[in-house]
Homo-oligomer: A and B are copies of this chain.
Amino acid sequence: MPYVYNTPDDQRQMLQAIGASSIEELFAVIPEEMRISGRLDMPPALTEMELDAHMKRLASENQHAGEAVCFLGAGSYDHFIPAAVDAIASRSEFYTSYTPYQPEVSQGNLQATFEYQTLVARLTGMDVSNASVYDGASAAAEAVLMAISTTSRPGHIVTAGSVHPEYRQTIATYLRHLGKDIVTVATPDGTLRADSLAQAVDDQTACVLIQQPNFFGAIEDVETAAQIAHDAGALLIVIFDPISLGLLRSPGDCGADIAVAEGQTLGTPMSYGGPYLGIMACKKKLVRRMPGRIVGQTVDRHGRRCFTLTLQTREQHIRREKATSNICTNQGLFALRAAVYAALMGPEGLRGVAELCLHKACYAAEQIAATERFSLAFDGPTWREFVVRDSQGRVDDVLTQLRSEGILGGVPLGRWYPELDDCFLVAVTEKRTKEQIDALVRALSQQSATVVAPA
């Protein structure tokens, strides 16, 4: 028996108090035929020492951004995380507590969440934020559900090809059995054209959903999209990037009704895709349609300011089948990380990171575009990320070669966009040095030089 919390002697005493003769007896309510006769077939238990060695071995079989140079993006980014974020998130009062049902013993979590909500509201220019949902994609899906229930429109949802394809897939999955259609406006130029959008929207459209900067790293015209949506009586949902708001106008400022984001960039490690942070903010008038927990300020019985979960009648544990969503456990620890990150960065820090991303990505894009073999797939301004086209159309070979040189060079786009199967997406965060960018460009140039026989 691995870890002894109660000894055989304790167990005997406890059984006696219960009036049972054995632990076995406590399970007698489970009919024999439903019980396992033998034992589970699984590998033998490791001790902590063995676990450490085992996990180090597994970890060593993964290339990671600490050793390889990471230019991957597409929704998850290798941004710098100050040590202070880890220090706070590893306070066990934060990470071993749970949803703050009892406010008297949860003011730490409640206040931190209230602060997180305020930070999100300020960053996005929206009125209210919830306490988090799972990730950017499910936040987008929840926003669409919100828009549907708010507008009560039976019609379709309009989105764009320049929105993260996995987010669109997620929305599609959420809507699959609700009888709603999704119209995806193609974006052959890498951004959404106003006329194409206007064509897709009609008076049955519940919402328009776009991404800024978009999946290709390019800058969309959010205001015009807002205009089009609002003119048709639809809501505008904007998927934003929190770091980009160090430079860009906020979704609220541009007319969004609901703003959602992947919050991973705010102090959360890449962790092969999760756990991340679904950020969700909206206009005040929509708050009662918002899913998830919300913390509100109030006073206690002595009149002292304090915080508590509020507006719970939206939630599944009160409203059950009438709830705005089924969400229960959310991403509390990552909302905390985001709050710590934002508090550390402050306005100047956030702007600084956004600027460094801009300049480094522009530099990388220019240099890559200057090679013989590679070019930029789209015109127009980009921020942290851009699409590279391989004139030889051998994206996998290129990336494999880069990887053997210790560079995670980009995300191939063919899986989602067959028409872009000669393209890959390159992201450049503030962590990338000129030296690293130059090494990428050099490696790509060398591949330009090599003449490859057609496959």
Listed in ascending order, the chain A residues whose CB lies under 8 Å from chain B are 48-49, 52-53, 56, 66, 80, 82-83, 87, 90, 92, 430-431, 433
Tell me, in angstroms, the Cα distance from A431 to B56 when the chains sit together.
Answer: 14
**Pairwise interchain contact B431-A49, C-beta atoms closer than 8 A:** yes
* Known A-B contacts A56-B66, A66-B56, A90-B90; A83 and B430 likewise in contact (beta carbons under 8 Å): no
* A435, chain B: closest CB distance, angstroms: 10
Q: How far is the CA of A430 from the CA of B431 in the complex (A)?
A: 40
Q: Which residue of B lies closest to A60 (CB)?
A: B67
Which residues does chain B contribute within 8 Å of A433, judged by CB atoms? 53
A430 close to B87 (CB less than 8 A) = no
Q: Which residue of B lies closest to A346 (CB)?
A: B4
Determine how close the nearest CB of chain B comes to the CB of A138; give it in whole angstroms. Answer: 31
What residues of chain B lie closer than 8 Å to A66, measured between beta carbons? 56
Given contacts A49-B430, A66-B56, contact A87 B92 (CB under 8 A): yes
Residues of B within 8 A of A48 (CB): 80, 82-83
A80 to B48, CA, bound (A): 9
CB of A199 to closest CB in B, whole Å = 46
Please measure, in the bound complex, the distance between the C-alpha atom of A143 and the C-alpha atom of B24, giving whole angstroms: 57
Q: Apart from A49-B80, A87-B92, what 9 extra A-B contacts exist at CB < 8 Å?
A: A48-B80, A48-B82, A48-B83, A49-B430, A49-B431, A52-B80, A53-B433, A56-B66, A90-B90
Chain B nearest Cβ from A100, distance in angstroms = 22
Complex: A66 Cα to B80 Cα, angstroms:
25
Rounded to whole Å, the gap between the CB of A310 and the closest CB of chain B is 32
11 A–B contacts from the bound complex (CB under 8 Å) = A48-B80, A48-B82, A48-B83, A49-B80, A49-B430, A49-B431, A52-B80, A53-B433, A56-B66, A87-B92, A90-B90
A178 to chain B, nearest CB (A): 45
Q: How far is the CA of A87 from the CA of B96 in the complex (A)?
A: 13
Most buried by B among A49, A90, A433: A49
Residues of B within 8 A of A83 (CB): 48
With a cutoff of 8 Å between Cβ atoms, the chain B residues found around residue A49 in the complex are: 80, 430-431
